Amino acid sequence: MSPNLEIELVAKYPKIYRDYNGDIMATNMAWGMEHDDGWGTLVDCLCKNIQDHIDNSIESVKRYEESENKDSWYKKPEIVSQVIVDQQKEKFGGLRFYCSGGDDIIDGMVTMAESLSYKICENCGHPGSPDENDSWIKTLCKRCRRRNKPSKIYPRIDGEDIRKALGGE
Ligand SMILES: [Zn+2]
């Protein structure tokens, strides 16, 4: 994705993107978000729902611990472990969001987002479909397919640039 859009997501969801721009030997997020901008809103919604679900679980546990009457709770809540993305890319026309942590509900969110990506133009975000083109499958809208523009290749972002963009030293 465009560097400015990637940094926007990293700033919004720093826990999920903890390994963004990390060491090449340690994480695939060293390569950034390997798809085009059209899926930015989809990924934003996915990350928002994931982080809300985790934060809500932490709040529930806190309320439970502070509760005078724990017996009234139908079920003892548990903290959902923090999701950390290891790889985010396009493959065979669809979004792949590989991550650690989470629970079954978050697994469902990821499955939903990945399946939706086959209906969204990877280039511009309008409704699209995966069509084969020169043996290369890419999910595009009619307009972008007519233009037949290749994926943009962005240079790897320097860690220094990210720290600056996120308001660091
Ligand atoms: Zn398009």
CA of 153 to the centre of ligand 1 (A): 17
Distance 37 CA to ligand 1 centre (A): 10
Give the residue among 16, 42, 17 at the shortest CA–CA distance from 120: 42
Distance 80 CA to ligand 1 centre (A): 36
Instruction: Report CA(139)–ligand 1 centroid distance (Å).
Output: 9
Residue-level pLDDT, tens digit, the chain, 169 residues = 999 999 999 999 999 999 998 888 888 898 899 999 999 999 999 999 999 999 999 999 999 999 999 989 989 999 999 999 999 999 999 999 999 999 999 999 999 999 999 999 999 999 999 986 666 789 999 999 888 656 666 666 677 777 777 776 5
* Distance from residue 49's CA to the centre of ligand 1 (Å): 25
Q: Which residue has the tokens 């469902």?
A: 108
d(CA 105, CA 101): 11
Three-class secondary structure of residue 123 per DSSP = coil
With beta carbons less than 8 A apart as the criterion, state whether 140 and 122 touch.
yes
Q: How far is the CA of 146 from the centre of ligand 1 (A)?
A: 9
- Structure tokens, 157: 């972002």
- Beta strands 136-140 and 129-133: pairing type? antiparallel
Compute the distance from residue 88 Cα to the ligand 1 centre, in Å.
Answer: 20
